[in-house]
A and B are shown apart, each in its own frame.
Chain A
Amino acid sequence: MELGVQYLFVALVLVGGGMAALSRHVLYNIVGLGISLFGMAGLFLQLGSPFVAAMQLLIYLGGITVAIVFAMMLSIAMTLDPPTRTPVKTGFAAVAALTFGVGLHGLIGTASFAAAPPAPTDAWAVAHIGSALLERYNLVFETLSVVLLLAIIGAILIARPDRRGDAA
């Protein structure tokens, strides 16, 4: 049963990823991305972290995917009329991705990863993440908040229409 659920999520990730990467229509890409992200959240749950899984659903599936849909609707031209692909370029991209994947697979094969004893279950409690974020990783946390603020301001500045008409 447990294993079945796991394989279901893996299948979701792979099918969604395939749709997101291979389809020519951008709407299918987005749906694929959503499916893949959902499967990923399930895998996070299986890997023992309900909190990260919930964040994945909230931020990625609920926020980022919706933002992408908005962007698609605001720049509608290519959505209505999917562009054609040249076989040369597709082939080139496939070769590049395959070379990379095979190379990296070889590299993974050479590494050996020491297995650690499973941590006690209470080590996975959300409270630990919270205190780690505010104590040990405080600087990272603060930096990330600054980055997000800058990203918001930057996004507004870039996307805003020039009201004055000059290149400000």
Chain B
Amino acid sequence: MNLESFLLLSLVLFSLGLFAVLAHRNLIAVLIGVELMMNAASLNLMAFNRFSVTDPVTGQVFVLIIIGLAAAEVAIFLSIILNLYRTRRTIDAEQLTELKG
């Protein structure tokens, strides 16, 4: 497999994640979509790191940092979900409409 096919794979995965974020009502499923998108980005970086960079350390470090940030992001996201569930008994994205104009 060459660089272009990896990019295509990551693009498909990213679009799938995007769809999950936009379509799911359950906030946990939305979070899963976000994770898919992040993984797509990681895959991209690893592919570039393999095929078009001379020093392969940079991309690996980048991906490690993305993984670390994802852990932080998931912790916050999940605690927000728990808080929402406790205070409103719902984690349905369609019922959280405070932004309504």
A residues in contact (CB < 8 Å) with B: 3, 6, 10, 13-14, 17-18, 20-22, 26, 29-30, 32-33, 36-37, 40, 43-44, 47-49, 51-52, 55-56, 59-60, 63-64, 67-68, 70-72, 74-75, 77-79, 82-83, 85, 89-90, 92-94, 96-98, 100-101, 104-105, 108, 113-117, 119, 123-124, 128-129, 132-133, 137, 140-141, 144, 147-148, 150-152, 154-156, 158-159, 161
Q: Is the CB of A93 within 8 A of B32?
A: no
Q: Is the CB of A14 within 8 A of B12?
A: yes
Q: Is the CB of A89 within 8 A of B78?
A: no
Give the CA-CA distance A89 to B4 in the complex, in Å.
Answer: 32
Given contacts A68-B32, A137-B65, 16 further A-B contacts (CB under 8 A): A13-B9, A13-B13, A21-B17, A21-B32, A22-B16, A22-B20, A26-B29, A40-B43, A47-B50, A48-B50, A78-B91, A85-B23, A113-B52, A123-B55, A151-B71, A155-B75
Instruction: Find B28's partner among A47, A75, A119, A123 (CB 8 Å cutoff).
Output: A75
Give the CA-CA distance A141 to B65 in the complex, in Å.
Answer: 8
| Minimum C-beta distance from B59 to chain A (A) | 8
Instruction: Find B43's partner among A22, A43, A92, A116 (CB 8 Å cutoff).
Output: A43
Given contacts A96-B18, A132-B57, A155-B76, contact A72 B13 (CB under 8 A): no
Give the CA-CA distance A64 to B36 in the complex, in Å.
Answer: 12
Query: Which 7 A-B pairs rank lowest in CB-CB distance, beginning with the nearest?
Result: A93-B22, A151-B72, A93-B23, A159-B79, A101-B15, A75-B85, A155-B79
Give the CA-CA distance A127 to B7 in the complex, in Å.
Answer: 28
Instruction: Find A75's partner among B71, B75, B91 (CB 8 Å cutoff).
Output: B91
How many chain B residues sit at the interface, stated as a range, is 35 or more
Instruction: Find A83's partner among B42, B65, B92 (CB 8 Å cutoff).
Output: B92
Chain B residues within 8 Å of A48, by CB: 50, 56
Contacting A at CB under 8 A, from B1-55, are: 1, 3-4, 6-9, 11-20, 22-26, 28-29, 31-33, 35-36, 39, 42-43, 46-55
Give the CA-CA distance A24 to B14 in the complex, in Å.
Answer: 19
Q: Is the CB of A20 within 8 A of B20?
A: yes
Chain A residues within 8 Å of B29, by CB: 26, 29
